[in-house]
Amino acid sequence: MLKFADKFADKFKDKFTDAIQSFFSPVYEEDEDEVFELPLDESGKLIRPMGTVRRVEHRFRTVRNNTVISPDRLELDDEARALLEIAKAVRDKAYCRYSGFAVGAALVAGSGQVYLGVNMENASYPAGLCAERAAFASAISAGEREFTAIAICGGNEDEPCYPCGICRQVLAEFCGPDFPVILSDGIYPLGGLLPHAFQL
């Protein structure tokens, strides 16, 4: 039984080594026929030297262009501008000592009450909290469950501060796809910012 286990382990080790070798693209200066050996340290742990990992081609491209105008975007009206001013004012209270990127959010509940939120950073980055979620936490703690709009202001006032993916999902938990998200360049429907929200 022990011999069988040893043979199985050797066979698995060979396949694993082959798979690792196929991932690397060795660079040879002179001899193209030189046998490539895995770069292992004294304990047998794999070392990945800079420049040896093969580049994998892909078809998708990530394009970041904040100047694209969405056909679903509406122009700002007086009410939206007023809510943006509130978000801009509360933004000064943000705790962002690490990034320096202050964000303020003003959330209007169905009751008409406006709940405020700012981003709160932490030395342990995942422990931070976005302004949008801070506003929602305040509103939910007060018993609110219906909301009519949110305004977000952050960074450069001339550029829209789009909510992050997590915040969009939190918005979708309580708000429908036509929920207005007010940014510096217009009013966006939530469904346009998060077309396929996760649901249970």
First to last CA, the chain: 48
Going 59 to 69 to 79 to 117, the CA torsion angle's sign is positive
Q: Is the pLDDT at 74 greater than 70, yes or no?
A: yes
Average pLDDT rounded to a whole number, residues 139-162: 92
**pLDDT confidence tier of residue 42, bands split at 50, 70 and 90:** confident
Annotated domain spans of the chain: 1-62, 78-193
Which residue has better confidence, 11 or 174?
Answer: 174
Model confidence over 110-131: pLDDT tens digits? Answer: 998 999 999 999 999 999 999 9
Chain-wide mean pLDDT for the chain? 78
User: Which range, 11-25, 39-53, 114-128, 146-160, is most confident?
Assistant: 114-128
Position 139 pLDDT exceeds 90: yes
44 — alpha (psi -120 to 50), left (phi > 0) or beta?
A: left
Does the pLDDT of residue 28 top 90, yes or no? no
Q: Lowest-confidence range among 20-34, 49-63, 159-173, 183-197?
A: 49-63
Over 50: is that where the pLDDT of 103 sits? yes
3-state secondary structure of 23: helix
CA dihedral 110, 112, 113, 117 (to 10 degrees): 70
Please give the DSSP secondary-structure letter assigned to residue 30: S
List 75, 132, 157, 159, catalytic entry: 132
Higher pLDDT, 154 or 8: 154
The DSSP element (H or E) to which 111 belongs, if any, is: none
- Clarify whether 32 is annotated catalytic: no
Q: Which fold has domain 78-193?
A: Cytidine Deaminase; domain 2 (3.40.140)
Residue 133: its pLDDT value, please? 98
In this prediction, residue 107 carries a pLDDT of 96
Give the separation between CA 32 and CA 26, rounded to whole angstroms: 10
